[in-house]
Structures are given as structure tokens and as C-alpha cells.
Amino acid sequence: MSDREGTAVPLLAARDLVKAHGRTRALCGASVELHAGEILAVTGTSGSGKSTLLHCLAGIVRPDAGSVTYGGERFDQLPEKRLSELRRTEFGVVFQFGQLIPELTALDNVALPLLLAGTRRQDAQATAGEWLERFGVRGQEDLRPGELSGGQAQRVALARALITGPKVVFADEPTGALDSLASEQVMTALVHTARESGTAVLLITHDAQVAAYADREVRLSDGIVAPLEVTA
């Protein structure tokens, strides 16, 4: 994917996004690009529109105006069925809290996306075990989310987000509830795996140390994106 000047077409691009929640304008013309394999940090004060931007880019909510393209193709106006298929096959998401299913073991939480895609249970669980190992949580297979530490739970959530080989992982404050050591372990695991698999990451954080793991950082302010200096 490249234009006439040889510049890579962004994997994901938001142009002039506007989104209101009731009378609150969360995005007021935000534009941002994410390139294949890039790790992009989106920072900004509380309420500046970071989560809303992520939700629009991930196809979770539709913008009121502006456009979102994936691989150069507009997708914000796709019918819900196509959108959810795109989310399932191309994207992975990790949030700050509560995304694991409490009744399932760590192993079954990680295996779930493969089971939903039709993989046989035994194969899905074997692959899930490998992913738990990769994220340093081998030995915790049979524990339920409530029995894991916050950092372990986030690494299980990352394994689940990455197991299908997504092109983009959306991570909304993935270390927001963790101490600095657990935060470092989660970020190291995320960055290492994303680099290895060429997965792009859109990372929302208010923590400068976490943002420093990214290739690039943009800051949201009052629903508008302001570019910053390249950080790596």
C-alpha cells in the first residue's frame, strides 16, 4: 500500500472525527494515523477524548462526522455485521479492567477467540498454553481471573487479544491499575510480541513511562490531536 510518492498508506486513519456523547463533544475534528507495525501512544488529560477516539478507530462506536479508514478503505459506515467481523478478525482490544470472563480459567479465557473462530477445543487450549507461556503466566492456566494478580490478569488479557494474530491491538490504559513493576512487565510483553508479529498498537495512557515504549506519541487536547516530537 503506497501512494505516488512512495509514502506508505496508513493501516488505520481517522480524519476530522467529531463525536458527541449527549451534549458533550468528546471529539472535535481529531485526525490520527497508525501505520502497520507501529506502536502509537495517545496521551492527554482526563476527558480529552482518548477513549472515544479509540472506540471510533476500533469500530466500537461510529463517529458523528469525519471518516475512519482501514488499509485505505472506509469502514466507519459498514453494516454492523461486517464491522463486527472486521473487529473479530483484524483487531484485538485490551482495557484497563474487567475484560476477562470471571467464570473461565486463564487458559479458557485465552482460548476463547480461537474457539469462537471454530478451532477444536484441544488445539485452542494447546495454543492458549503457548501464549500464556509467551506472556510469562504459564502455571496459572487453571486459575480464574479473580485469583490472578492485576499484572497477571492483564498479561492474560494481552495473550487473548493477540492469539488470533490481529493487525492492530487497541490498548486503553492497559497498565492503569498496576504498580510500576507490573506495568513494566505488561508493557515489555506487549511491545515484544507486537514487534515479533508486526502488530500495530494504539496505546492510550496518561503515564509518560508507558508512552516511552511507543515509537510515536500524539496528544489529545479538547478533542483535537496535537502531534508531538518523535520519542524513539
Choices 46-54, 100-108, 191-199, 207-215 (CB under 6 A): range interacting with ligand ATP: 46-54
Choices 19-27, 100-108, 129-137, 211-219 (CB under 6 A): range interacting with ligand ATP: 19-27
13, 34, 41, 49: which one contacts ligand ATP (CB under 6 A)?
49
End-to-end Cα, the chain, rounded Å: 24
Residue 47 engages ligand ATP in binding (rule: CB under 6 A): yes
Residue 48 engages ligand ATP in binding (rule: CB under 6 A): yes
Containing H/E element for 186? helix 180-197
Three cell numbers, residue 188: 515489555
51, 109, 125, 175: which one contacts ligand ATP (CB under 6 A)?
51
Count other Cβ atoms within 10 Å, centred on residue 163.
Answer: 23
Choices 18-26, 68-76, 100-108, 126-134 (CB under 6 A): range interacting with ligand ATP: 18-26
Say if residues 199 and 167 touch (Cβ distance below 8 Å).
Answer: yes
12, 13, 44, 185: which one contacts ligand ATP (CB under 6 A)?
44
**Separation between Cα atoms, residue 220 and residue 129, nearest integer Å:** 38
Three cell numbers, residue 201: 498498537
Query: Measured from the CB atom, is 44 or 166 closer to ligand ATP?
Result: 44
The residue written with cell numbers 449527549 in the block is: 22
Residue 104: Cβ-neighbour burial (10 angstroms; 0-12, 13-18, 19+): middle
Residue 26 engages ligand ATP in binding (rule: CB under 6 A): yes
3, 4, 5, 22: which one contacts ligand ATP (CB under 6 A)?
22
**Separation between Cα atoms, residue 175 and residue 204, nearest integer Å:** 10
Query: Measured from the CB atom, is 131 or 170 closer to ligand ATP?
Result: 170
